[in-house]
């Protein structure tokens, strides 16, 4: 069994794969401060160069989830849609907007996220601009979920053990395994997950991890030209996970009647600019490429969450939620309850 930083480093540098148990031990060591900063930097860099497989990612995720502050709900019929980030495309917050549209269509959401790391506006930044306090006490967040069907679990609050590696990650300035682990370590047990990845090479290992961790239904996506979302600018590669089995496929927006868009049409901006885009989409005022991206991603999330029999039905439900005004009213309801819980 591998124990010391030197043990792990030599093993990884030789190109060998860690067992799930050893991966778990390595992550525990990182979070419990067993290694020096230099050793942590070397370990994270060597893993990045060698590339992690599904078993390793599952071991890392298990250790992180075990150390996380738990968040429990009465039913596992809950979903999260989250991307790894790091795609460098500068799009607006598609997954966060999609989560609210899916919420307004009947799917309960416990979203796991953070402030901006590689983009101008992270999900936490956006929600704060909209009036939702992302770092409220756990009991208050559970009340928010009970009353609205929505909760946001702010990663630094629920994963305090990862503070030991924050400085090293910042100094390295490169993507590490922690970018992959964010979407896989939601502290809330749930049946449904939609995970976007920044590279098509990550689809199989992340899907394998979801299968290993026992998700009921999951979808791992990568979209052209490099989005951690379902793409409206080209083809998307997909891995559907159900009952421990993985099915690979692809999807093109024209299959669902959507035109192919230019990536420039999906660009975002500051948190304030993205909040305006967000509200305009949910309110039905935005009609073009951005709305189409949200409709498509919301529909896939509804389908994964078993709120629609197929993609066609899911798209109809999503369009109706926006057109009727229910999507925007759902957002306003979450904001209102959030503010009330904080005494505003």
- What distance in Å separates the CA atoms of residue 306 and residue 191, rounded to the nearest whole number? 10
Residues 235 and 229 sit within 8 Å (Cβ to Cβ): no
- What distance in Å separates the CA atoms of residue 46 and residue 52, rounded to the nearest whole number? 10
Close Cβ partners of 137 (under 8 Å, ≥ 6 residues apart): none
Residues 241 and 212 sit within 8 Å (Cβ to Cβ): no
Q: Which of 271, 261, 268, 272 is nearest to 230 (CA)?
A: 261
Across the beta sheet with 245-251, the strand order is 150-154, 108-113, 78-83, 192-196, 217-223, 236-242, 245-251
Q: What is the pLDDT along the chain (344 residues), one digit of tens a residue?
A: 788 999 999 999 999 999 999 999 999 999 999 999 999 999 999 999 988 899 999 999 999 999 999 998 989 999 999 988 765 677 888 999 999 999 999 999 999 988 765 556 678 889 999 999 999 999 999 999 999 999 999 999 999 999 999 889 889 988 889 988 989 999 999 999 999 998 999 999 999 999 998 999 999 999 999 999 999 999 999 999 999 999 999 999 999 999 999 999 999 888 889 899 999 999 999 999 999 999 999 999 999 999 999 999 999 999 999 999 999 999 999 999 999 998 87
Indicate the SS3 state at residue 324.
coil
Helix, strand, coil percentages, rounded to 5, for the chain = 55, 15, 35
Alpha helices in 85-227 (DSSP H): 94-104, 123-130, 138-148, 155-158, 163-172, 177-181, 203-213
pTM of structure: 0.93
Domains of the chain as residue ranges with CATH: 5-67 (1.20.970.10), 78-333 (3.40.1030.10)
C-alpha distances in Å from residue 81, one per residue of 99, 191, 193, 194, 301: 7, 12, 6, 5, 7
| Structure tokens given for 49 | 């160069």
- What distance in Å separates the CA atoms of residue 111 and residue 180, rounded to the nearest whole number? 16
How does DSSP assign 158-186, residue by residue?
A: H-GGGHHHHHHHHHH-S--HHHHHGGG--
How does DSSP assign 18-66, residue by residue?
A: PPHHHHHHHHHHHHTT-S-HHHHHHHHHHHHHH---HHHHHHHHHHHHH
């Amino acid at each position: 069994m591998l124990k010391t930083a030197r043990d792990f480093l030599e093993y990884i540098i030789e190109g060998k794969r860690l067992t799930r148990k050893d991966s778990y031990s390595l992550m525990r060591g990182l979070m419990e401060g067993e290694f020096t900063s230099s050793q942590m930097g070397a370990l994270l860099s060597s893993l990045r160069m060698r590339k992690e497989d599904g078993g390793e990612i599952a071991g890392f995720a298990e250790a992180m989830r075990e150390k996380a502050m738990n968040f429990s709900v009465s039913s596992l019929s809950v979903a999260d849609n989250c991307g790894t980030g790091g795609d460098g495309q500068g799009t607006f917050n598609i997954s966060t907007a999609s989560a609210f549209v899916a919420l307004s269509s009947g799917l309960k959401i416990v979203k796991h996220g953070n402030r901006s790391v590689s983009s101008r506006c992270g999900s936490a930044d956006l929600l704060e601009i909209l009036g939702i306090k992302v770092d409220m006490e756990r009991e208050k967040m559970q009340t928010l979920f009970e009353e609205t069907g929505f909760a946001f679990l702010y990663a630094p609050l629920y994963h305090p053990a990862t503070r030991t590696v924050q400085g090293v990650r910042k100094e390295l300035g490169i993507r590490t395994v922690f970018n992959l682990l964010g979407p896989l370590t939601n502290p809330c047990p749930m049946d449904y997950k939609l995970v976007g990845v920044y590279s098509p090479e990550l689809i199989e290992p992340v899907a394998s991890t979801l299968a290993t961790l026992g998700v009921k239904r999951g979808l791992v996506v990568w979209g052209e030209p490099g989005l951690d979302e379902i793409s409206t600018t080209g083809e998307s590669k997909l891995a559907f996970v159900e009952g421990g089995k993985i099915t690979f496929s692809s999807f093109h927006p024209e299959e669902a009647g959507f035109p192919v868009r230019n990536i420039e049409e999906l660009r975002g901006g500051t948190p304030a600019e993205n909040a305006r885009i967000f509200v305009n989409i949910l309110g039905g005022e935005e009609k073009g490429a951005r709305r189409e991206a949200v409709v498509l991603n919301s529909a896939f999330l509804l389908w994964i969450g078993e709120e629609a029999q197929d993609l066609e039905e899911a798209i109809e439900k999503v369009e109706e939620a926006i057109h009727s005004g229910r999507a925007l009213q759902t957002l306003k309801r979450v904001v209102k309850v959030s503010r009330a819980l904080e005494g505003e």
